[in-house]
């Protein structure tokens, strides 16, 4: 049975092997007080909770910086191949607790704060959530950085230091409103500015070519320059002394104010000009999976790759390998020491930028520069939705990046020669596969550019990787096969870091697992398979059920305190937390809410499984349909939650401002976003993963819930397919159409009206919404919404509705059998090993990057440092 220890006591049981209990508590207390007095200039009488958090964060950072410096010195000495992960998003979330866990000092810090009369959990709550990502793509990048460090890879994350991250969400009268996420308003303890590595990034201007030859070294003149100032954040591995670096770039104007302009009236304009330059890193673009060709977004994409490539070349030239020739740096073997991974198409401009640097700056011949770039770069695709693929107008590129457009045209000329070779006498292929699309406004297809100039292309789940070679990029895959590039197309199923998403956010479950099978699973999640032999152990089932219940009570208490919502913690927690988008089908969930409401109203004395349906997620500010879905869910909640006949048998909760730290709370019960996700995941009973088959690239929220013992209801889409395979097709609720069914329906012609006419339950729900049952003050609020659904329904909500309802009935019946439900939860945890980001990164390293991971191997500690070899 679970003990009655406090959360802090449970967390003290989790530590990295080899660290003596309570070692260094006095040192931590001394460092804490020193930082409080000398760094923050406060004493205990006037210090705030934020001050105490900062003092603790500085103390923890003190324990990391020696390892950080030593890691970079170690890389300089050993000169391994470096991996550079380029991403426009890094959804890091909170850093303090994750750092303590990875350094193995969480127990000591807990004890030190206790002795000082402070609550460490309250201090952790003071940390701002570094929301530098929209969701899955950015959170994946953060998990990858953790795994790269844990596997001992010499890896660097490169992105933008957005001054404002993903917006804070507020719900007013059921509608989403946005507020700025000023996450830097109190500074950031963890980052360190590196002005000595600042570089210039140029835009606009004109190109002077040698004799008009674009392949020759050219001069880019009369440009507008912006300074890219790097800020470094340490990313520690788990228990191995490795601390890698995430380097984020901040835009700065190139020169200070000229005060002489004040008297001429130009001073104010000079301020405005400076602000325009610095707007590049001002705000993260909200993502709604719909590409918009905004000039500022293009500037951001070039800004990060230009600064990063200069940094990569600088580091290569100063390395032992790069300096092997005393006369001139040789680039013929650049790819043997540098691997660049493009996280989706956003950093695809790294390709023409690297060629530009090699040709125009380093004097490398164009053909050689192209081959070097292709051997160095690899591309990860994250979407099959055509509207999400980036296509930049040629005119915009010609104006902003004229030299890069020339290089893209040269790449396209080479590419079309290969197309003609692979598909002789097929002129249609030349048009279909050109990097320059000419139907209407000329545009550059950035996914095509990334494919042509990368030595490896991968999807992020088995079904997604199959779709991109069978459909999205079919011509390019066939061309690769014909030209002998057989290993170019790969799959790398996404994963999550088990440290953050189980060890950190669900300490009670982590300890229960460790008590049964030991702690080897921290670094090898496949060890969780050993839990299968305990899945029928009655005492273990009761223990896991009790842990889940405690997590649910914790979430219920948090919701009561933070949102004033009272829920029954004994009810099933049915969680659907992710970015709000039509393809993720929160609307299907909403229709099921209405269906359950109707069933209870029609049979008030019936035997219904109590259920709390929780939805969380943000809609992009300009995505009006997604915002309407949020309003609909909240409107349904207003009616359902206030109907005395319904009572506690059905409650609907929309969780405001879903973020990573929220997810950590829910993980115990279910999962949604970083701050929220960490709160919610441990408490989830049922995880909703109900996207239309063939639309979700992978998903990682599904993995987090599975790892924390939630059962999944979902379609065979994204990673759900592999989750079902790992579970042997059992212990998971699969419903609805498969990819081939969706394709067949589209070919035949899909009419949602047919399903409306054929399903009484669907018709009743839609008619009630359209008639204003859930919006009595504005009866026609959703009428147009329903009409549009019955005309278009691109994501087959109506087609899958009846199957979803039937599957949910199976869920309700199983939940009544607590032992069997818990047994299946244990089987889900046991089968989650494949979905570790350690496994994903191991596969990237060995099959794409040409690096050898070293899990569990510790590098020399800070005491072995040698001065003068930092980088």
Residue 869 is predicted with a pLDDT of: 54
Q: Catalytic residue numbers?
A: 382, 578-579, 584, 700, 704
CA distances from 164 to 234, 305, 656 (A): 20, 20, 19
Looking at the whole model, is its pTM more than 0.75? yes
Sign of CA dihedral 586, 588, 591, 595: negative
Q: Which residue has the higher pLDDT, 308 or 661?
A: 308
Query: Could you give the dihedral angle defined by the CA atoms of residues 687, 692, 696 and 702, in that order, rounded to the nearest 10 degrees?
Result: 10
CA distances from 451 to 83, 417, 489, 494, 812 (A): 19, 15, 10, 20, 46
DSSP 637-674: HHHHHT-TTTGGGEEEEEETT--HHHHHHHTTT---ST
pLDDT surpassing 90 at residue 411? yes
Residue 682 has, within 13 A of its CA and on its CB side, a CA count of 33
Residue 34 has, within 13 A of its CA and on its CB side, a CA count of 10
pLDDT surpassing 90 at residue 293? no
- Confirm or reject CATH 3.40.50.12780 for domain 501-835, answering yes or no: no
Beta bridge partners of 458: 380, 490
pLDDT tens per residue across span 716-726 = 999 999 999 99
pLDDT tens per residue across span 558-614 = 899 888 889 999 999 999 999 999 999 999 999 999 999 999 999 999 999 999 999
Helix, strand, or coil (residue 379): strand
Q: How far apart are CA 555 and CA 321, in angstroms?
A: 53
Q: How far apart are CA 525 and CA 497, in angstroms?
A: 9
pLDDT tens per residue across span 343-396 = 999 999 999 999 999 999 999 999 999 999 999 999 999 999 988 899 999 999
Q: How far apart are CA 497 and CA 202, in angstroms?
A: 37
Sign of CA dihedral 658, 388, 455, 217: negative
Helix, strand, or coil (residue 491): strand
Longest distance between any two alpha carbons in the chain, whole Å: 88
10 Å CB burial of residue 462 (0-12, 13-18, 19+) is middle
Among 31-35, 438-442, 444-448, 453-457, the least confident range: 438-442
Nearest to 131 by CA among 161, 103, 106: 161
> Dihedrals φ, ψ of 588, to 5°?
-60, -40
DSSP H/E element including 416: helix 402-422
Residue 329 is predicted with a pLDDT of: 74
Residue 8 is predicted with a pLDDT of: 52
Contacts of 489 (CB under 8 A, 6+ apart): 456, 457, 458, 465, 468, 469, 477, 480
Beta bridge partners of 170: 177
- Paired tokens of 5: 């220890």
Q: Where are the domains of the chain?
A: 1-78+106-126, 501-835
Residue 21 is predicted with a pLDDT of: 39
Query: Could you give the dihedral angle defined by the CA atoms of residues 698, 702, 707 and 712, in that order, rounded to the nearest 10 degrees?
Result: -130
Residue 667 is predicted with a pLDDT of: 43
Q: How far apart are CA 57 and CA 67, in angstroms?
A: 16
Residue 692 is predicted with a pLDDT of: 98
Contacts of 18 (CB under 8 A, 6+ apart): 104, 239
Residue 195 burial (CB count, 10 A): 10
Query: Could you give the dihedral angle defined by the CA atoms of residues 112, 116, 122 and 128, in that order, rounded to the nearest 10 degrees?
Result: -70
* 664 within 8 A of 505, measured Cβ to Cβ: yes
pLDDT surpassing 60 at residue 668? no
Among 62-76, 279-293, 555-569, 776-790, the least confident range: 279-293
pLDDT tens per residue across span 210-244 = 999 999 999 999 999 999 999 999 999 999 999 99
DSSP 358: I
pLDDT tens per residue across span 630-653 = 999 999 999 999 999 999 999 999
């Amino acid at each position: 049975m679970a003990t009655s220890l406090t959360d802090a006591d449970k967390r003290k049981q989790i530590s990295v092997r080899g660290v003596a209990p309570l070692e260094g508590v006095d040192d931590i207390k001394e460092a804490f007080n020193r930082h409080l007095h000398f760094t923050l200039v406060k004493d205990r009488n006037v210090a705030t909770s934020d001050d105490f958090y900062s003092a603790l964060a500085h103390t923890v950072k003190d324990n990391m910086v020696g390892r950080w410096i030593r890691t970079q010195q170690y890389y300089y000495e050993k000169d391994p191949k470096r991996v550079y992960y380029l991403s426009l998003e890094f959804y890091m979330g909170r850093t303090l607790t994750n750092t303590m866990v990875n350094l193995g000092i969480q127990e000591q810090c807990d004890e030190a704060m206790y002795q000082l009369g402070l609550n460490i959990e309250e201090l952790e709550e003071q940390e701002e959530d570094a929301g530098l990502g929209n969701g899955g793509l950015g959170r994946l990048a953060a998990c990858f950085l953790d795994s790269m460090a844990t596997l001992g890879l010499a890896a660097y994350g490169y992105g933008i230091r957005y001054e404002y991250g993903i917006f804070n969400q507020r719900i007013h009268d059921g509608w989403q409103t946005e507020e700025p996420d000023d996450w830097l308003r109190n500074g950031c303890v963890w980052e360190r500015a590196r002005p000595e590595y600042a570089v210039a990034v140029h835009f606009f201007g004109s190109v002077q070519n040698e004799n008009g030859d674009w392949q020759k070294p050219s001069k880019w003149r009369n440009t507008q320059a912006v300074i890219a100032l790097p800020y470094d954040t340490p990313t520690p591995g788990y228990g191995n002394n490795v601390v890698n670096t995430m380097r984020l770039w901040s835009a700065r104007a190139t020169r200070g104010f000229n005060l002489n302009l004040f008297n001429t009236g130009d001073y104010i304009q000079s301020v405005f000009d400076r602000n325009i330059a610095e707007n590049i890193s001002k705000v993260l673009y909200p993502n709604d999976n719909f590409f918009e060709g905004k000039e500022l977004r293009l500037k951001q994409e070039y800004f990060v790759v230009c600064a990063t490539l200069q940094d990569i070349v600088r580091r290569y030239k100063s390395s032992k390998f790069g300096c092997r020739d005393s006369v001139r740096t040789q680039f013929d073997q650049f790819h043997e020491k540098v691997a660049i991974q493009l996280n989706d198409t956003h950093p695809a401009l790294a390709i023409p930028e690297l060629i530009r640097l090699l040709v125009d700056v380093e004097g490398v011949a164009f053909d050689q520069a192209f081959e070097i770039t292709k051997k160095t770069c690899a591309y990860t695709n994250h979407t099959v939705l055509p509207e999400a693929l980036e296509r930049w107008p040629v005119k915009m590129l010609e104006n902003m990046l004229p030299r890069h457009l020339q290089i893209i045209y040269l790449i396209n000329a080479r590419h079309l020669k290969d197309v003609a070779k692979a598909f002789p006498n097929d002129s249609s292929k030349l048009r279909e596969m050109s990097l320059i699309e000419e139907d209407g406004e000329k545009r550059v297809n950035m996914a095509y550019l990334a494919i042509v100039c990368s030595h490896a292309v991968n999807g992020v789940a088995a079904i997604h990787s199959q779709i991109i070679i069978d459909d999205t990029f079919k011509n390019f895959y066939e061309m690769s096969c014909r030209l002998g590039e057989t290993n170019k197309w790969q799959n790398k199923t996404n994963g999550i870091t088990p440290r953050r998403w189980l060890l950190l956010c669900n300490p009670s479950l982590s300890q229960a697992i460790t008590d049964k099978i030991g702690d080897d699973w921290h670094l090898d999640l496949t060890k969780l398979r050993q839990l299968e032999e305990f899945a029928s152990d009655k005492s273990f089932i009761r223990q896991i059920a009790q842990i889940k219940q405690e997590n649910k009570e914790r979430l219920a208490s948090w919701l009561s305190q933070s949102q004033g919502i009272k829920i029954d913690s004994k009810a099933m927690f049915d969680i659907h937390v992710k970015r709000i988008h039509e393809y993720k089908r929160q609307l299907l969930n909403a229709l099921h809410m209405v269906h359950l409401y109707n069933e209870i109203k029609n049979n008030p004395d019936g035997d219904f499984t109590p259920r709390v349906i929780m939805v969380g997620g943000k809609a992009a500010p300009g995505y009006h349909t997604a915002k309407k879905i949020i309003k609909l869910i909240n409107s349904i909640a207003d009616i359902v939650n206030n109907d005395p006949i319904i009572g506690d048998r059905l409650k609907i909760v929309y969780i405001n401002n879903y973020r990573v730290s929220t997810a950590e709370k829910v993980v115990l019960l279910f999962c949604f976003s970083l701050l929220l996700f960490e709160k919610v995941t441990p408490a989830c009973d049922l995880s909703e993963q109900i996207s239309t088959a063939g639309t979700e690239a992978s998903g990682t929220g599904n993995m987090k819930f599975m790892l924390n013992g939630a059962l999944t209801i979902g379609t065979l889409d994204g990673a759900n397919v592999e989750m079902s395979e790992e579970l042997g097709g059992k212990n998971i609720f699969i419903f609805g159409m498969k990819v081939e069914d969706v394709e067949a329906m589209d070919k035949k012609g899909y009419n949602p009206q047919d399903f409306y006419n054929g399903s009484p339950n669907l018709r009743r729900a839609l008619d009630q919404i359209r008639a204003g049952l859930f919006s009595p003050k504005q009866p026609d609020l959703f009428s147009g919404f329903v009409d549009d659904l019955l005309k278009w329904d691109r994501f087959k909500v109506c087609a899958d509705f009846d199957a979803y309802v039937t599957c949910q009935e199976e869920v309700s019946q199983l939940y009544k059998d607590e032992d069997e439900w818990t047994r299946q939860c244990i089987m889900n945890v046991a089968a989650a090993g494949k979905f570790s980001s350690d496994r994903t990164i191991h596969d990237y390293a060995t099959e794409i990057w040409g690096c050898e991971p070293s899990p569990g191997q510790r590098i020399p500690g800070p005491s072995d440092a040698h001065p003068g070899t930092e980088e």
